[in-house]
Structure 1
């Protein structure tokens, strides 16, 4: 029994490494084969039916229940497919199931694309501020039209830190715990939050109540991974800096954002780079830090690489311990 649990853990870790290797070498699959794109299409279709148009009277309870039910239907379909795929793969020899499971896991994480998009913002800023704003608009939902060069750079670094958790660490965390269904459910929840989790207007519709369930589920599923991402970023800091600043300061900075989770990796990145990050009129992280410069985007990307590598290596003992306990 112990040997079988260890082999299962090693096979799952091999699948995780294969997923990261495929992501590093080839990036995202075509949109027509991308499960996250399929999730987005369902959420777009369902969202147009659960969120009322702005300015039109509606019942809060009805909008909330409609959003919750639409989310549950989508999540149920995602879970059913992921459970079915994993059920088929575990019946195969480990040397065949591991690479196939890795290929199925890959679309549920996206480090290469995130890394490239953030560095593309810096490249565009080298052309002009307008080009930098246009490139940033591909990454964030905020209004970029009035951002300065420093604010564009801040937003790009923030996006890298936040999505380092959402697009890499959290899917891998849930994969380690619950396999492919865990990673797939998290990716659906996070995609739904990105499309529905707004307090107010988006796309001409009022999401205040229709997206409330979605936002809360994502908060729960991201709670621990977000803090793990911040912790790994923190561990890469030089000893002296860690000793001087301390975990309490990181927690204090993280709590400045409205989100209970996204502030953690963003605050860790700000303190690690010793730069000021923020969203104008909403929050400022590490206000005593300097304004980010062009080299900070590359430094943030390199830190992201370290986090991904550390999480991949750390997943092996976690998997072996988890499989041992489960067995």
Structure 2
């Protein structure tokens, strides 16, 4: 009985270890597997690129199936070797996929630069958060861009990976991270990728549906920790999120706006085009102090998501493994 329960805790232990490791060290500065995947994806793209959806779908499917097969083989090997090997496998995969610590560190750096009036420094850091053109942004624009990125990536970089690690172990979390990386690379509406990146963008939308909505719920729950209103977060989410062009980013951004009592959205200049985003929330434009609060809110949501992921993994996995039929 004890051995069965211990085996069932392997995934929970791995997820917990990954969260602790990410909090301690953040993303590796060199040789990050996500960067290596991006390099491989670019190499494949350079060989097969054509300006149509079918070729883009083949490109996306080939890369994601390859990642899924490799991760599944790794997880099977871990399971055969016992609970600690399984924990190490899930932990390594989850650590690779998590980016919440680096997200908050970069957000705090942006807040410090903007608070000190160093707009040039903030413009240099902004590309680490999002794909907007920093050269055309003033202090207010840089603040809004950073805060919206903190909101969206609280889901993309932390909550959604934890959802997939809990639901499907190493294959789930690594395929999710690969899909999210492809979306960042080719999922935007530039002239080159409007057709070729369509499949990557749609797959990423589906992969983030649950994570984004869990993020919204956790923002509502954590709003009081930053002096915000759960009711305002809920109302902004339910009223405004559907107007955002992304079915998932709108949830996180609207919930953050309501929780912080600010207004997000408006003209958004990307490298490839200008987008006029809908208004999210009904407060004032964000200030540097709101960016600081957004980082604190993101951390609170991340911790809450980690606790949920470990608890759900422990209960569900140990219950299944300890079953008399197992």
TM-score category of the 2 structures, normalised to the smaller one: 0.7 to 0.9
Q: State the match for 1:224 in structure 2.
A: 210
Contact 1:50/1:210, CA 8 A, preserved across alignment: no
Structure 1 Cα separation of the partners of residues 122 and 233 of structure 2? 34
- Is 1:94 the equivalent of 2:113? no
Contact 1:196/1:211, CA 8 A, preserved across alignment: yes
Q: State the match for 1:242 in structure 2.
A: 230
The alpha-carbon distance between structure 1 residues 250 and 102, as it changes in their structure 2 partners (threshold 3 A), is same
Q: State the match for 1:55 in structure 2.
A: none
Structure 1: gaps of 5 or more residues? 53-57
Q: State the match for 2:302 in structure 1.
A: 308
Q: State the match for 2:72 in structure 1.
A: 83
Structure 2 Cα separation of the partners of residues 146 and 211 of structure 1? 26
Q: State the match for 2:270 in structure 1.
A: none
- Is 1:255 the equivalent of 2:249? no
Structure 2 Cα separation of the partners of residues 138 and 283 of structure 1? 21
Structure 2 Cα separation of the partners of residues 17 and 66 of structure 1? 39
Structure 2 Cα separation of the partners of residues 103 and 170 of structure 1? 16
The alpha-carbon distance between structure 1 residues 240 and 137, as it changes in their structure 2 partners (threshold 3 A), is closer
Structure 2: gaps of 5 or more residues? 268-274
List aligned pairs for 1:55-74, cutoff 5 A. 63-74=52-63
Deviation string for 1:203-227 (max 9, x for gaps)?
A: xxx2111111111111111111101
Offset at 1:190? 0.6
Contact 1:177/1:322, CA 8 A, preserved across alignment: no
Q: State the match for 2:17 in structure 1.
A: 18
Match of 1:295 among 262, 266, 289: 289
Deviation string for 1:26-78 (max 9, x for gaps)?
A: 2223532x2211211122122334445xxxxx6xxxx2111111111111211
TM-score by length of 2: 0.87
* 3-state DSSP of counterpart to 2:109: helix
Structure 1 Cα separation of the partners of residues 87 and 320 of structure 2? 21
How large is the Cα RMSD of the aligned pairs? Answer: 2.4
Runs of 4+ deviating beyond 6 Å: none
Higher alpha-carbon deviation: 173-182 or 116-125: 116-125
Contact 1:118/1:156, CA 8 A, preserved across alignment: yes
Offset at 1:251? 2.0
The alpha-carbon distance between structure 1 residues 240 and 270, as it changes in their structure 2 partners (threshold 3 A), is closer
Higher alpha-carbon deviation: 267-276 or 182-191: 267-276
Match of 2:93 among 100, 104, 119: 104
Higher alpha-carbon deviation: 88-97 or 114-123: 88-97
* 3-state DSSP of counterpart to 1:31: coil
Offset at 1:175? 0.8
Offset at 1:311? 1.0
- Is 1:276 the equivalent of 2:263? yes
Deviation string for 1:246-280 (max 9, x for gaps)?
A: 73541221122111111111111111111122241
* 3-state DSSP of counterpart to 1:145: helix
Structure 2 Cα separation of the partners of residues 317 and 18 of structure 1? 13
Corresponding pairs, count: 311
Contact 2:89/2:170, CA 8 A, preserved across alignment: no
Higher alpha-carbon deviation: 143-152 or 124-133: 124-133
Higher alpha-carbon deviation: 43-52 or 15-24: 43-52
